[in-house]
Amino acid sequence: MERVFVPLAEGFEEIEAITIIDVLRRAGVEVITAGVDKKEIKGAHGIIVTADRNLEEIHGYDFTGIVLPGGMPGAANLRDNDKILEIIKDINEESGLVAALCAAPIVLEEAGVLKDKRATSFPDFDKEMPSCNYQAEKIVQDGNIITSRGPGLALEFAIYLVEYLVSSSEAASLKEAMLANF
């Protein structure tokens, strides 16, 4: 079974984080959340989410993937955390899923996994991702690295991750059951 880590840092984008967690869990993916500084994390719009664990309890080798929600200052807080960067590197070295949405691809840049890879982000964050081959597309996949642009794409991005992690039939079933129209 796929096991994915979703880190939450103060200022995360709630729509992105909750949508990713919810959709992946609906698809049968084991999703573990962890708060960067504590278990109760306040999102960019004041919504407090209780994470499953604290970051100290997380090890990259325990997961087949990592998905980073964006939001500011959430993405900057992830980028500035050495343990998050190490987990990204560990998962990437094993060719596990490394995915980020909105502003969060800047974290992948900091971890050094975007060099010469195609990637996207929320508009204007391309300036903070100089090592990649930037694409202004909704969702960009380059091998095991999947990036997307923003909150309005959270559901489409999450369904895309289901297709990558589980199957295209599971993604299609979820899309139909959720009345997604994309």
Give strand pairing partners of 132.
none
- Listing DSSP states for 70-101 in one string gives --TTHHHHHHT-HHHHHHHHHHHHTT-EEEEE
Task: Tell me the pLDDT tens digit for each residue of 37-96.
Answer: 999 999 999 999 999 999 999 998 899 999 999 999 999 999 999 999 999 999 999 999
Give the other-Cβ count within 10 Å of 86's Cβ. Answer: 13
102 in active site: yes
Q: Whole-model pTM above 0.95?
A: yes
Structural contact between residues 132 and 116, judged by C-beta atoms closer than 8 angstroms: yes
Fold designation for 3-177: Rossmann fold (3.40.50)
For residue 63, which of 74, 55, 71 has the smallest C-alpha distance? 55
Catalytic option among 102, 113, 155, 161: 102
DSSP state of 140: E
